[in-house]
Chain A
């Protein structure tokens, strides 16, 4: 794709100039980690968690939150705004075409996601003694599938939302329920029914699989399959539904 590197560089600059994007996409997961980690009760080993601390349970959930923030708010809002404002249409008249901009957006959001995840894992380990995931390959595979499935959700939202504002609204509508079933508000004590539903959402499955890799185990097949199914299904759906103008 001609023009992609330069487009990605410009998109990265625009990403960094957008205050909301920085707060929601980059700062929020780290700030939450620091806030939770600073509460002494969060750092006490609990017998009902098998000797783990709440902060240990939180680390994978915050990785999920980081992925969700970028894929459900920043990515769809940006793309829908570009279509709504005619930015994609304008590019369609140049030799590079609008597909390059879609590619650049994906690259920028992917790099941002990886950056936040690396920061989360690093800060959790250094500041709060949460040891990094021991099943490294399983962690990497889970992250790939999680990002793939969640970006799939974001792209479908971008495909169906007529405006950037609408995309943001739909994104929020997915964001909070997904975080709820993934256990953000009930770390280590999620009701069974909720956890059961969560297993079949990309975010819940992802957090579940990440948890295993932190504990040094290979993720169970179900969450991996769930995420892979979402990634492929939503990817195809987004490609079918996406309109350039």
Chain B
């Protein structure tokens, strides 16, 4: 995944497109962001992940120049958004949480209008087709479905041909199918060479989409890294669960150097261990002519990493569905 960032790095060399250092922001006495630092490289999908109220939106608002920071430095494409707003706004496309357009404004009107704000806009008709809104060109904003409104919002974020797209809680309130379609959309945005800064509180979304991410909790960065790297940091242990086709002596398994523990629940066996656990296990079983039925390898998810790193559970009220059988999080959730 890190190679994608390198490949798309044609436009501006190796300089990070966003640099945030020791960002601090408070509203009156309430400190929204204590101390946040991270850099975003050109061409990557960078996630800001954390529970509701962690300071994610405030952080990106300071990067957009929508809010004035109380401390720290912010550089977006080399400019300070607090003092050089225009330069930042020309090159950064934004999809805001809960933004609306006037009820009676039509889709094509909105795109035509927003494209006129930028010095070098994209062809909004092409954009409309790419986002599957071509047949909605004359539909008033009020008559669009939630998913269509979100896609229009993305189109408006891209219409100025931005170098960076900031997407804030893009999939909140979407049904599972719409969410998956939107994930594809985010990958398509990156494929255009646009750097994506993605704000989300969905673990699964961050794990699936982000090249790197910053885990934010209570206004501070808890960890920065790749999703796999963050997971590996907190979980070196693997778990294999199966049902043996014939009676099995636990000592056969505990004798293996890779195995650290064996637990039985009914006729199910849960083996924990390290290294090449799965291979060691299946070889040992094969030697006894035992088949592992319903074999399942369980890996830690980003959610586990979050819990381990912050010591508490992320917001459970807005969890995406877990129906995707290919996702590690889904496997984990079924245990």
Contacts and interface: CB of A to CB of B under 8 A. Distances in A.
Interface stretch (A89-97, A220-228, A233-241): A89-97
B100 A85 contact: yes
Contact of A94 (B89, B98, B100, B109): B89
Interface stretch (B26-34, B111-119, B273-281): B111-119
B104 A17 contact: yes
B99 A94 contact: no
Interface in B96-149: 96, 98-102, 104-105, 109, 113-114, 116-119
A92 B90 contact: no
Interface residues of A, number: 21
A139 interface: no
Q: Name the prevailing secondary structure of the A interface residues.
A: helix
B6 interface: no
Given A10-B109, A86-B96, A94 B114 contact: yes
A89 B99 contact: yes
A87 interface: yes
B64 A14 contact: no
Q: Please indicate which of the listed interface residues A3, A7, A89, A95 has the most CB atoms of chain B within 10 Å of its own CB.
A: A95
B66 interface: yes
Contact of B86 (A3, A14, A95): A95
Contacts of A14: 102, 104-105
Contacts of A90: 94, 96, 99-101, 156
Contacts, number: 58
Interface string B144-175: 00000000000010001000000000000000
A13 B114 contact: no
Contacts of A87: 99-102
B105 A10 contact: yes
B166 to A, nearest CB: 8
Contacts of A13: 109
Nearest to A94: B117
B104 A18 contact: yes
Interface in A65-83: 81-82
Contacts of A2: 117
A95 B160 CA distance: 10
Interface in A1-33: 2-3, 6-7, 10, 13-14, 17-18
B64 A93 contact: yes
Contact of A6 (B99, B102, B113): B113
A86 B102 contact: no
A165 to B, nearest CB: 14
B96 A96 contact: no
Contacts of B113: 3, 6-7, 10
Contact of A95 (B101, B109, B117): B117
A2 B115 CA distance: 12
A13 B113 CA distance: 12
Contacts of A17: 104
Contacts of A3: 113, 116-117
Interface of A: 2-3, 6-7, 10, 13-14, 17-18, 81-82, 85-87, 89-90, 92-96
12 contacts: A6-B113, A14-B105, A18-B104, A90-B99, A90-B100, A90-B101, A92-B66, A93-B94, A93-B96, A94-B114, A95-B90, A95-B118
Given A3-B113, A87-B99, 12 more contacts: A2-B117, A3-B117, A6-B113, A17-B104, A81-B102, A86-B98, A86-B99, A86-B100, A90-B100, A93-B96, A94-B89, A96-B117
Nearest 4 Cβ contacts at the A-B interface: A93-B94, A85-B100, A86-B99, A90-B99
